[in-house]
Amino acid sequence: MRKLFWLAVLGIGAMSLMVLPLGLAAGGSATADTSSTATGAPGLNPVLAQAYQQAATRAPERVPACTGMTWQILAGVAQVESNQAAGHTIAADGQITPPIIGPALDGTGTGGNTTAVRNGTGYAHALGPFQFMPATWAADGINARGTAAAPDVQNAFDASLTAAVYLCGKGRDLTQATQLHDALYSYNHSEAYVAQVEAAITQFQQLPTTAAVPASGRAAVVIAAALAERGIPYSWGGGNAHGPTRGICCSQGGQDGSKVIGFDCSGLTLYAYAQAGVTLPRLAADQAAVGRRIPASAGLSALRPGDLVFFGLIPGDDASIYHVAIYEGGGMMLEAPRPSENVKSAPVWSYDYAGGAAVL
């Protein structure tokens, strides 16, 4: 295996679980919106958007027989690998700080890794927004910036072009579902990984058609209430109808919420909706039973600002829902994501999306 990926352990809402991939059947031809550009895609960092777009355009220069490379493919891979470098600063030249370093690949199962990979005297770590193994980067890394500097795995432009060329192989047609599958499988030998990236690609393909609808009435009240809490810490079990509170002990990730005043995911939604006169149950899975359910198959275009947005481990099984957020519009949501992070606006996750609920 030339490439390994890792998944973050999340401490979210009423549960703290390893994020697991959704199954996704692929067949026939893959559709790609080659007319759209990454620039301005809802929730996508503009520097990353530029890097993906540039890499998709330049990949055929390196692999002339490669067709069908799009920014959505690269965004889909980066979504699964590093959640679009979430929590890191991306400079205009593409440099990412602090560096993105995956967990030690010691074979203990952290991040889904069960095979030890050594690097010198210690264990290797996957690196950068596309989580390249050091040996893979040393062999295939490309400087995309037109300088004499060595390729930098922590640079968005270098990493994006390297990933694009790697996925192109010797000349794949990535508009064909089977060849896209093979490209992703070559990146990581896991059918679950391929399914998760395919789902992310599909969602990025839908983003340009996801128009932001202005919030009004009680939806505007809910969104304004959640927006006002941005920057408030995550607290396991924290939050009620009156605002942030001390939480409880302890999340599976080890956070003692009783020492933090803040919100967990369902505490934030409970509070925001209470400001509009709506009482929600405390747990994320129970909130899915309120209002008109919007199936995941309907896509983001079926959501309206103020709707609840859910994420679950088993498609169609609301009991498996582990995270809830408030749809802000334009592919964005307001959420209390996990321990060590604050309430924020973020793109609707492409993985484990379980639809929404129109409550108002």
Give the residue numbers marked as catalytic: 265, 323, 335
Query: Virtual CA dihedral for 316, 113, 168, 83, nearest 10 degrees?
Result: 60
For residues 80 and 97, what is the distance between their CA atoms, to the nearest angstrom?
19
Q: In this structure, what token pair is assigned to residue 94?
A: 């593409």
Q: Are 265 and 324 in contact (CB under 8 A)?
A: yes
101 to 26, 72, 87, 136, 321: CA distances (angstroms):
31, 23, 12, 15, 29
φ, ψ for residue 338 (rounded to 5)?
A: -170, 165
User: What is the number of H-type helices and E-type strands within the chain?
Assistant: 9, 12
Q: In this structure, what token pair is assigned to residue 53?
A: 């777009």
Q: Are 359 and 308 in contact (CB under 8 A)?
A: yes
Q: In this structure, what token pair is assigned to residue 235?
A: 């607290």
DSSP label at 324? E
DSSP label at 188? S
For residues 216 and 100, what is the distance between their CA atoms, to the nearest angstrom?
39
Q: In this structure, what token pair is assigned to residue 116?
A: 């030890």
For residues 175 and 312, what is the distance between their CA atoms, to the nearest angstrom?
29
Nearest residue to 6 via CA among 103, 97, 135: 103
For residues 26 and 3, what is the distance between their CA atoms, to the nearest angstrom?
22
